[in-house]
A = this chain, B = another copy of it.
Amino acid sequence: MSSQPAYRTINIHQLKTVCSACSLKELCLPMGLSHDEIEHLDQLVYTRKRVKRGEALYRSGDPFNSLYAIRTGFFKSNVLLEDGRDQVTGFFMPGEIMGLDGIGQDRHSCNATALEDGEVCVIPFARLEELSREVRNLQHQFHKVMSREIVRDQGVMMLLGSMRAEERLAAFLLNLSQRFLARGYSPAEFHLRMTREEIGSYLGLKLETVSRLFSKFQEEHLVSVQQKHIRITDVEGLKRLLSQPAA
């Protein structure tokens, strides 16, 4: 990757690299930008990085230089307490941006780990700021990305702070479903890339509880679960769970 020749116009791989040619441009940072504006972005992302399953994209404490736009693969972010407790703070899929936590302190405040082999676009942050001083819509788009991350976090707080275990898992499945749909995958049938323990950590539950709930949902014909393969058979049923505070 590193030794790209100068005559890049004839390099097919490079062509596929730029935002303007990326299939995720409707979901990712370029969302809502005009064709011309996206071409400005092509100067921004000149590095890709492959990450193998289990590898860290960055770790808490690492100096912050870049944001990462996921091209392929599935990632998680998590924070560790001194005593070893571990809280998963998010799951990320193609088109989503990781690393926003690093801007405020010039170092990352969480770990980002690949849940399967994947590839990310490296976005040098100084360059992004520079470019967004020139391209108004890019600036605005970037602000939207950050704001949506804040809103997403509010949703997780709602989940952790006021929902019961059942509701949390239902909300989680519906959220994944929607995000798969937005990416052109089936919203009804998908593969969970994370373990029960990671789901539990994210939802503030123990892995046994998550497992039991999957079994319960299956008995109630809301989903059909086979290990990591999930098939949602009754979306409305899941949604109904969310509006029913008590059992």
Where the two chains meet, the residues of A that have a C-beta atom closer than 8 Å to any C-beta of B are 79, 81-83, 85-89, 100-105, 109-110, 129, 132-134, 136, 139-140, 143-151, 153-158, 160-162, 201-204, 243-245
Task: Give the docked Cα–Cα distance between A82 and B154 (Å).
Answer: 15
Main secondary structure of the interface of A (DSSP, over half): helix
Given pairs A82-B243, A87-B162, 9 additional interface contacts (CB within 8 A)? A81-B243, A87-B158, A104-B146, A105-B148, A110-B154, A132-B133, A146-B147, A153-B153, A153-B156
Nearest-Cβ distance from residue A170 to partner chain B, whole angstroms: 13
8 pairs from A and B in contact (CB 8 Å cutoff): A101-B147, A101-B151, A129-B139, A133-B133, A153-B154, A153-B156, A160-B161, A162-B204
Contacts of A102 in B (CB 8 A): 147
- Verify A148–B104 contact, CB threshold 8 A: yes
- Verify A83–B154 contact, CB threshold 8 A: no
- Verify A204–B101 contact, CB threshold 8 A: no
Task: Give the docked Cα–Cα distance between A109 and B156 (Å).
Answer: 13
- Verify A136–B133 contact, CB threshold 8 A: yes
Contacts of A145 in B (CB 8 A): 104
- Verify B153–A157 contact, CB threshold 8 A: yes
